[in-house]
Structure 1
Amino acid sequence: MAHPDHGTCPRRHRIHIEQTDKRFENVQQDIRNLQQRMDSFMRWSFGTTIGVGGVIIGVLKLWS
């Protein structure tokens, strides 16, 4: 006697695989967004460090 869900098993697996693929795509997009935010922060941080360093050097040169 055949299993009653035998005909729908492949469809269920296909739906599960599609849902898993969507989850992986969402996680991958989240990682990309986080990487873009980190890149922006690193550029901002570097620019701020250079700017503040330049101001400090300028002030020290004026005082000496």
Structure 2
Amino acid sequence: LKMCANAIKQGASGVDMGRNIFQSDAPVSMMQAVHGVVHGGLNANKAFQLYNDLKRKELRKK
């Protein structure tokens, strides 16, 4: 998420993520956190906080 936030801060219009998403314990939550950085203006800390909140909910459903 730090790398993603830094890229957006430096002017990138998007990111290309692979195993960082698919090897995550909670891939849906990770995608939502990355979306928050790219489209919602979240910084890395806020995105990580969002990821952890969503991850708890996602893992409870399993």
TM-score (norm 2): 0.31
Instruction: Return the index of the structure with the highest Cα Rg.
Output: 1
| Higher percent of residues as helix | 1
Structure possessing the higher relative contact order (Cα contacts under 8 Å, 6 or more residues apart) = 2
TM-score normalised over the length of structure 1: 0.30
